[in-house]
Each structure stands twice: as C-alpha cells, then as structure tokens.
Amino acid sequence: MKKIIYTIGLILGALTVGQAQTKLQETNAEMAGVALLGEDMLLVTKKEGDGQYLYTARLGEAEATERAIALNAGRINAIVGGDLAAGEVFVYHKSGRKQERITRYKWMNGEFVKGEEVRVPRLRNHSYNLGLYLTEDQRQLYIAAELAGSQGYDDLYLSEWNGKSWSRPRNLGKQVNSDQAEFAPFVRNDSLYFSRQEGEAAYIYGAALQNGQPGEAVRLPGVVNGKETYNAYFSKRADYTLWVAGTSRETPRYVAYMLGDRAEPAVTATVEEAEPAPVEKAVSEPVVEKELKQTVEPISEEPGVKAPVRAATPTLVLYNEFNRVHLSLSELAGLSRFLRLQPEGASFVIKGYSDGYGEPAAKQRVSEQRAQSVKAYIQRYFADKAFRVEVEGEVLPGKGKAHRKTELYLVQ
C-alpha cells in the first residue's frame, strides 16, 4: 500500500493547480516534440515527408520557426535529453540503418556548438518508431521500441552504460508496459513519464522510479490529458510543463502547450501595418524582464577627456524579417561573431529601423524594439565583456527588407 501511495503522490505533485496554460504553437504538420532551451528558445520537432527535423523559435514568437541547420545532421532528428535550462541539448541523429548516434550540443554566443557523441545500442527494433531519453549523466538510456518479448506493441526498456558499452535493454515490466504502445519517455528526478496509445487517443502517464525500477504507472490528471485527444512528448522543469496535444478529427491539428508561471518576453513582435493583436492572458499579467526595463544610460563625458565619437558608418548591419522584432538565428550568429572580436568595455550605439509599412506610432515602436532586442541579447550573453550601449530608433520611408534592419555603430 505504501508503494502505491508514494507513486500516486509523486505524480500528482508534478502539476500545480492554478498554473497558467499557454498555447505556444498550432500547426497541421505533425509535431513530434517541443522543448524550451535556456529561457526563451523553443525547439520544435516536426515530421515531414522526407524525415524528421528540428526547428527553433523564440518564446512569444513561436509561429516564426526556422529549421535549425546545425541540429539536423541526419534524416531523422530528435531531442533525447540534456540540461536544457543550461542551454545543453542531446540530439539523436539517424542517417541510415546503422548510422545513428546521439550528439551533445551547447547553445553558446548565439550558435549551437557541437560536442561529444554518444553511441546508441544496436537494436532489432520491429517498430517503425524509436523513442529515446538519455539522462543528464549519460549513463541511462530509456528506449521505446518493439523488441523481443514486448508486452504488446512498443514497450519501454532501460539500457545502462557500464563505462565501455550499453547493457542489453531491459523491459520495464507490466507496471509500465501494456498491450498498447508506450512511447515518448522522459525522466525528471525520480519520475518516469511517457505516453500510452489507447485507440486513436494517447494519454500521458507517470511512474515513480526507485533504483531504476518503476512503480505502477498512473495517468496524469489535469489539462495535459485532454479527453479523446493525442497527448504526448511531455517534459517538465522546475517552473513549467510542456506537451503536445493533437487530434485527427477532420483536419489533423497539433498544438504545443506550456503550463506554468513563466513570464512572457519583454520585447514582443509588433505588427507593423496595424496595432498589435491582444494577447490571451490565462491567470495573471506577464512580468516584464528586469533587464529590458532598464533605462538607457548615455555614455558620459569626463572633464578634460575628448568626447567619444560615433563612427560615421555602421560597423555591423543586421536584417530583420517582416513583422519581427527579434533577429533570426543566422543573424544572431553573425552578431555573436562580431561581439567576440570586440575588446572589453567597448561602446556601441544600436539603432533599429522600421520600413514604411504601417501606422506611424507602430513603426516607431518597432524600430526601438529592434534596438532593445539586440541590447538585451548583448546584456544576457556578453555581460562579462561589460559593453556600453545606447539605443536609437528611426522609421525609414522606403519599404522592403533593406529598410528593416538593426545597425551597430562603434563609439571611439
């Protein structure tokens, strides 16, 4: 009896009553996972005709996804663990039947840096699908597959690293596995989470772990399990929960959700040709990040010292997409390379521009927000270099990408 109480109590504690539910992204394309890297980068896994690929988007601009070239090193790519809060992610790559591996990536200075590779145990998997979760210490690999001796369709297994090789996958037993398909494993602390197919629907379950052995699986309560809905790819951190819900009624539809008390980003996309649409609020008003509410301090002049002079031409020009305040990953990579070359304490003027589309007030707001977005990025990722920055904004009469930009001017 104690074991059952312990299991149920642990799983019920995974969700907090009264938390705000936010819809992150909605698409007809099949989503095979969603994760949050660091504080504001979404990683979305999508199944496509020629494979499975990872896309990135900023929190608050989840509709503006772009394929993450560095993370897609195979035909099948999937997030299988990592310390995402610290910007580290483990990605599974498969290019052929025997060409599969797990690679560690670190988000550093605006780009993904490739790290060590981890071998994947060879499996005689009879299922079309393969789901993996690698623990942060890289010593336990949870596997969803149809191997010999499965309870039904796909079952959950555990393989452990002995320092030289992976152990033979061990079936986690009837506490977890059923005559239905179990898939999408995820481990946090001492709990195993996964999804179970039940007819056309799927529901998220959890089981307490003791020495790697799961207790009785319990279906999670609350909004993460919509009735008669496909609920899967559950993940959890200290302050939020993510999952994907889908339905095949009429037109297939997949929605990524976040449940938690996270703040919305302070700089949001503003539609240039019209006032911004109202944002749905679930429980409370979002908290504006402190670093973006700081007032811009002018570069001071000391008596007897020659006043600093801004360069006549921009040192770096970055281009923004239409209706986008934040820069794309490719533009951020260029910004990071530039900043790494600058000496500590360097001074810049960041100037954002909006083109001729939209109402005057909205255009001016966009130009300033673009500059503030770059400033926030510098303060977050290059704080150790103590750069000094001012921000400006200007509306250009011309239309087109050439007029939607952010410029950096060195001050000397």
For residue 283, pLDDT beyond 70: no
Question: Closest Cα partner for 73 from 9, 29, 133, 117?
Answer: 117
Amino acid letter, 273: E
Alpha carbon of 13 to those of 6, 7, 16, 185, 352: distances in Å? 11, 10, 7, 19, 46
Q: 353 pairs with which residues across the strands?
A: 394
Q: What is the pLDDT of residues 15-64, one digit of tens each?
A: 444 457 888 888 888 899 999 998 889 999 999 888 999 999 887 776 66
Give me the percent of the chain exceeding a pLDDT of 90: 44
What superfamily in CATH does domain 307-411 come from? OmpA-like domain (3.30.1330.60)
- The CATH 2.115.10 domain(s) of the chain lie at 2-260
User: What's the pLDDT score for residue 270?
Assistant: 34
CATH of the structural domain 2-260, one choice from 1.10.3470, 2.115.10, 3.90.1580, 1.10.287:
2.115.10
User: What's the pLDDT score for residue 13?
Assistant: 47
Q: What is the pLDDT of residues 133-179, one digit of tens each?
A: 999 999 999 999 998 777 778 999 999 999 999 999 999 999 999 99
User: What rounded mean pLDDT belongs to the chain?
Assistant: 81
Q: What is the pLDDT of residues 60-115, one digit of tens each?
A: 776 668 899 999 999 999 999 999 999 999 999 998 777 899 999 999 888 899 99
- The CATH 3.30.1330.60 domain(s) of the chain lie at 307-411
User: What's the pLDDT score for residue 79?
Assistant: 97
Mean pLDDT of 333-361: 88
User: What's the pLDDT score for residue 131?
Assistant: 93
User: Which segment of 149-153, 171-175, 299-303, 333-337 scores lowest on mean pLDDT?
Assistant: 299-303
